[in-house]
Structure 1
Amino acid sequence: MVSSFSVDEVFEMAEMMERNGADFYRKTAEKTDDPKLKNFLVSLSNMEIKHEAMFRKWRKELAESDPINMLDPDNEGAMYLQTIVDGRVSFEHEEHGNESMQEILHGAIASEKDTVIFYLGIQEAMGEHLDRDKIGRIISEELGHIRQLTQLMHRQSFEKAQ
């Protein structure tokens, strides 16, 4: 079955992912007593808020132009995008309150990886309708989050081992 999904829907999903990421990092920051870790998590939350605002702006700009739909021959793209969003949304709800910081960081890294894949898909699907450099900058920042979270996770593992 051939279906399509609108760019508006895709950008709405991106906004939701960024909003949930910001909430996750803010709530995680509230759980730690380590001032450096707290500042780092708050800065990630602030970046996610900026990304959400960018997607909201692009969504508005594109809504003012002709509606753009992307063909999805077997509804695979729409299901894939929704699965990624659901995974990012559900990550926060999987917490039970007794996770170690290592577990939280590992989950955050997985979530950021899914986000990068999602945005690469947007970048590819949008083609000429979106400035590839703009979304590329967000992808670069998300990759930076992965790098920073990974370094933090390794540093914490090292400190615990000593």
Structure 2
Amino acid sequence: MGSQIEAGDVFQIAMRIEENGANFYRYAVQVAKEEKAKEMFGWLAGAEDEHKVLFKEMLSRIETQAPPDSYPGEYGIYLHNYADNNLIFKKEAMDAALAKLTDTLSAIDFAIEREVDSILYYHEIKGFIAKDQHESIDKIINEERRHFKVLSKMREGYS
């Protein structure tokens, strides 16, 4: 039995997750009260943008097989909607959570939860792709772990 999802799908979803993450961090810059936190969230937004570029480069280096589209771009739209509505930054949950963010600490806590969710998602998705593609997924996991560490260190200052 073949894989149900290709590494290319994972990278396209990863790009969308990173895009949504960058948007969150830009919002967190506005919520944060302390200048140091604003700078950190701004840096994280930029890092998410860089990760999206990295994942796009990774995607370009692998062979992808998208199913036939009923109309141009259908599969890409499907993957974007899937990432937006079913994964790390689910729209309804995101909107509700963002409404509760009133200070730096709540923004940090939310960001830490999303980074952990991302790590778990990428780790679990490895079960659906070919073993020769695991190294690329591990690179994504390492990037998300780095964000988790940065946020956790930042959180220590608010305990």
What's the TM-score, normalizing by structure 1?
Answer: 0.70
How many residues are matched?
A: 142
Q: Offset at 1:106?
A: 1.3
The alignment partner of 1:130 has SS state of: helix
The aligned counterpart of 1:154 is 156
Consecutive unaligned residues of structure 2, counting only runs of 5 or more, are 68-81
Moved more, 27-36 or 44-53: 27-36
Which of 105, 108, 122 matches 1:105?
A: 108
The one-letter code of the counterpart of 2:42 is V
Consecutive unaligned residues of structure 1, counting only runs of 5 or more, are 70-80, 158-162
Contact 1:84-1:114 at 8 Å conserved across structures: no
Once the two structures are superposed, residues 72-95 of structure 1 have per-residue CA deviations (whole angstroms, 9 ceiling, x without a partner) of: xxxxxxxxx869953424354221
Structure 1 residues 10, 140: closer, same or farther in 2, change over 3 A?
A: closer
The one-letter code of the counterpart of 1:17 is I
- Matched-pair identity in %: 22
Once the two structures are superposed, residues 37-86 of structure 1 have per-residue CA deviations (whole angstroms, 9 ceiling, x without a partner) of: 11111111111111111222222332xx36389xxxxxxxxxxx869953
Structure 2 CA distance, aligned partners of 1:128 and 1:60?
18
The alignment partner of 2:157 has SS state of: helix
Which has more strand, going by share of residues?
1
Once the two structures are superposed, residues 7-64 of structure 1 have per-residue CA deviations (whole angstroms, 9 ceiling, x without a partner) of: 33322211110000111111211333422111111111111111111222222332xx
Q: Offset at 1:152?
A: 1.8
Q: Offset at 1:97?
A: 6.0
The aligned counterpart of 1:86 is 87
Contact 2:19-2:49 at 8 Å conserved across structures: yes
Structure 1 CA distance, aligned partners of 2:10 and 2:137?
13
Moved more, 89-98 or 29-38: 89-98
Question: Is the counterpart of residue 31 in structure 1 residue 36 in structure 2?
Answer: no
